[in-house]
Amino acid sequence: MNTQKLLLGQTFETSGNPMTGPWQDAVRINSAGAVLIENDQIVRVADRDTLRRDAPQADVHDYGQHLICPGFVDAHVHYPQTAIIASWGKQLIDWLNTYTFPEEMRLHDPAYARQIAARYLDLALDHGTTTMCSYTTIHPGSVDAFFEAAATRGMRTVAGKTCMDRNAPDGLRDTAQSAYDESKALLARWHGKGRAQYAITPRFSPTSTPEQLSALGALWAEYPTCLMQTHLSEQPAEIDWVRQLFPDARDYLDTYEAHGLIGDRAVYGHAIHLQPREIDRIAETGAALVHCPTSNSFIGSGLMDVAGLATRRIPLGLATDTGGGSSFSMLRTMAAAYEIAQLRGTALHPAQLMWLATAGSARSLHLHTKIGTLAAGYEADLIILDLASTPAIAQRSAEADTIWETLFPTLMMGDDRAIADVWVAGQRRAASSG
Listing DSSP states for 402-414 in one string gives SHHHHHHHHHHH-
Maximum C-alpha span of the chain:
68
Q: How far is CA 119 from CA 82, 132, 312, 411, 432, in A?
A: 8, 14, 38, 24, 13
- For 113, list phi and psi in degrees, rounded to 5: -60, -40
pLDDT at 200 over 80: yes
**Mean pLDDT over residues 356-368, rounded?**
98
* Cβ atoms of residues 220 and 261 within 8 Å: yes
Is-above-0.85 flag for pTM? yes
What integer is the mean pLDDT of 380-395?
Answer: 98
User: Which secondary-structure segment (H or E) carries 41?
Assistant: strand 41-47
Mean pLDDT for 164-192 is 97
Of 48-62, 270-284, 332-346, 417-431, the poorest mean pLDDT is in 417-431
Question: Does the structure show a pLDDT above 70 at 284?
Answer: yes
Query: What was the pLDDT predicted at 299?
Result: 85
Supply the DSSP symbol for 175.
-
- Kindly give, in sequence order, each residue whose CB lies less than 8 Å from that of residue 88, ignoring residues fewer than 6 positions away: none
pLDDT tens, residue by residue, 130-148:
999 999 999 999 999 999 9
Q: Are 12 and 45 in contact (CB under 8 A)?
A: no
Report the C-alpha gap between 292 and 303 in whole angstroms: 10
Query: Please, which pLDDT band fits residue 2 given cuts at 50, 70 and 90?
Result: low
96 pLDDT band, cuts 50/70/90, is: confident
Mean pLDDT value of segment 29-54: 97
Q: How many Å separate Cα 149 from the centre of its chain?
A: 17
Helix axes 210-222, 176-190, angle to 10 degrees: 30
The pLDDT-based confidence of 432 (bands split at 50, 70, 90) is: very low
Read off the pLDDT of each residue in 261-282 and give the average, rounded to a whole number.
98
Q: What domains appear along the chain, each with residue ranges and CATH number? A: 4-71+372-429 (2.30.40.10), 72-364 (3.20.20.140)
- 347, burial (CB in 10 Å: exposed 0-12, middle 13-18, buried 19+): exposed
CA atoms in the 13 A half-sphere facing the CB of 118 = 7
The predicted pLDDT at position 90 comes to: 74
- Separation of alpha carbons 156 and 154, rounded Å: 7
Q: In this predicted model, what pLDDT tens digit does every residue of 152-173 receive, in sequence order?
A: 999 999 999 999 999 999 899 9
Q: Which residues pair with 4 in a beta bridge?
A: 38
Cα–Cα separations (whole angstroms), residue 57 to 6, 53, 308: 9, 9, 49
Tell me what percent of the residues of the chain surpass a pLDDT of 90.
Answer: 91
Give the pLDDT of residue 430.
55
Name residue 201's beta-bridge partners.
162
Q: What is the rounded average pLDDT for all residues in the chain?
A: 96
Query: How much of the chain is in helix, strand and coil states, percent to nearest 5?
Result: 40, 25, 35
Average pLDDT over residues 311-336: 96
